[in-house]
Amino acid sequence: MNNFDGATNIQNLLQFGEFGDVNPSITDSATYTFMQAKTMTETFQGEAEGCFLYSRHWNPSNKYLADALAAMEGTDAAWVTASGMGAITCAILQLVNAGDHIVSSITTYGGTFAFLQNYLPKFNISVTFVDITKADEVRRAIRPNTRLIYTETMTNPLLQISDLPLLRSIADEHGIKLVVDNTFTPLMVAPCRHGAHITVYSMTKFINGKNDCVAGAICGSHEIINSLVDVNNGTAMLLGPVLDPLRSSSILKNLHTLHIRMKQHSFNAAYLANKFAEAGIKIIYPGFSNHPGHETLRKVYDPQYGFGGMIAIDMKTAENANKLMEKMEHEGVGYLAVSLGYFKTLFSNPGKSTSSEVPESVQKEMGMSEGLVRFSVGLDNDIEMTWQKIRKSLFETGNL
């Protein structure tokens, strides 16, 4: 059981605006003035504390959000990016060079898979994909030039659970880093407290919760974050995926309700999961004791946030999945849309959407049914009414 309460850490931060505003002031500047020339020089050299030089590097609004995220994760520091992929790619590229090797979970977000499989070979960086739940497979994949293990706490879209303490022990055996995407499980799990060297997020999802912006985050030690924004060789500084300060301010306010939202997402997902199971629908839900990763998740999760807002059902064929999703949207269950963590329920067929970058042969290898429907369960106040709409949709499409 995890007794670390990230929500309390966020709430204990005192972040006032410049005039005592209860919400921190929003930075509306790209550049910052110095009263002494030598302070500018020291700032560029990374030797000045509390100074800002240019908003691509740091700005006060982004620093407020980064500090809150570090408090939530229990890390020394954090840095925010303009997208989740910006966070993932910067974190990985900071750790590897041409000729290096990565071991990654084969079950991962489609954009991440495409970056690892299709983009990194341009730089002579190779990747071996493994079943991340099999320690022997992970160990066998590691080579002398391996620099990191990459996974997701709860994998997308099959909802496998990574054993973070075990993966960290494997990483330590070989002197490499463990990088974990925690997008599906904020507050439920704090990966850096259970072995990860770096935690990455798409804040677009649960953390922001409103699907009104795209953003990402990287959490880790001072050494890691400072290396990312180093003016001479920091990947984040030089590639420039900076988050707009207006968006930072908005996300920071939403972050303070994350603990309430995650509890409701989890409650509603558990309710629907049980209803699907009772109806005889094949379902993937980490909260069930027969889920292969259930006990692994219980070792690291915070029980007050449940088992998360993600579930998946198997309609066997893409045709069945499409009919059901269209009917559910018509009935008002939610939206046939990609992404997750929204206050409305979202559902999609991953093989034809968020995992479409993964070749069909690989989808079959990882055990992804072509009829898989992934749900990000929303914040519905009357979840029984939602189930009745789903049940009607199942019945009228011949799936019940």
Q: Residue 374 is encoded by which pair of tokens?
A: 């992934």
- The residue behind tokens 């993600």 is 310
Range in 19-33, 70-84, 169-183, 207-221 with the lowest mean pLDDT: 19-33
Which pLDDT belongs to residue 400?
Answer: 86
CA distance 5 to 16: 22
- Any bridge partners for residue 181, and if so which? 152, 200
Which pLDDT belongs to residue 282?
Answer: 97
Non-local (6+) Cβ contacts of 278 within 8 A are: none
Q: Residue 87 is encoded by which pair of tokens?
A: 């966070």
Q: Please name which of 330, 337, 265, 349 lies closest in space to residue 304, comparing C-alpha atoms.
A: 265
Q: Residue 221 is encoded by which pair of tokens?
A: 């030690």
Q: Please name which of 220, 262, 369, 340 lies closest in space to residue 5, comparing C-alpha atoms.
A: 262
Q: pTM for the complete prediction? A: 0.95
Average pLDDT, the chain: 94
Which pLDDT belongs to residue 92?
Answer: 98
CA distance 399 to 395: 6
What's the pLDDT tens digit per position in 123-175? 999 999 999 999 999 999 999 999 999 999 999 999 999 999 999 999 999 99
Which pLDDT belongs to residue 3?
Answer: 66
CA distance 236 to 218: 10
Which pLDDT belongs to residue 371?
Answer: 95
CA distance 272 to 288: 12
CA distance 252 to 59: 14
Question: 119-133 burial by CB neighbour count: b if 16+ within 10 A, else e?
Answer: ebeeeebbbbbbbbb
CA distance 116 to 125: 9
Task: Find out whether 315 and 351 touch, Cβ atoms under 8 Å.
Answer: no
User: CA gyration radius for the chain?
Assistant: 21
- The residue behind tokens 């496998």 is 160
Give SS3 for 378. coil
Tell me the C-alpha to C-alpha distance, in Å, between residue 105 and each of 108, 162, 169, 366: 6, 9, 16, 10
Task: Find out whether 120 and 97 touch, Cβ atoms under 8 Å.
Answer: no
Q: Please name which of 281, 285, 335 lies closest in space to residue 311, comparing C-alpha atoms.
A: 285
Q: Beta-carbon neighbour count of residue 3 at 10 Å?
A: 6
pLDDT at residue 45 tops 90:
no
What's the pLDDT tens digit per position in 317-342? 999 999 999 999 999 999 999 999 99
The total number of residues shown for the chain amounts to 400
pLDDT at residue 2 tops 60:
no
pLDDT at residue 40 tops 90:
no
Which pLDDT belongs to residue 206?
Answer: 98
What's the pLDDT tens digit per position in 212-226? 999 999 999 999 999
Tell me the C-alpha to C-alpha distance, in Å, between residue 46 and each of 39, 57, 58, 221, 229: 10, 11, 12, 16, 10
* Sign for the pseudo-dihedral over CA of 110, 116, 117, 120: positive
Q: All domains of the chain, ordered by start, with CATH?
A: 6-255 (3.40.640.10), 259-396 (3.90.1150.10)
Confidence tier at 39 by pLDDT (50, 70, 90): confident
Percent of the residues in the chain that have a pLDDT greater than 90, as a whole number:
82
Ramachandran sector of residue 146 (left: φ over 0; alpha: ψ -120 to 50; beta: rest) = beta
What's the pLDDT tens digit per position in 78-102? 999 999 999 999 999 999 999 999 9
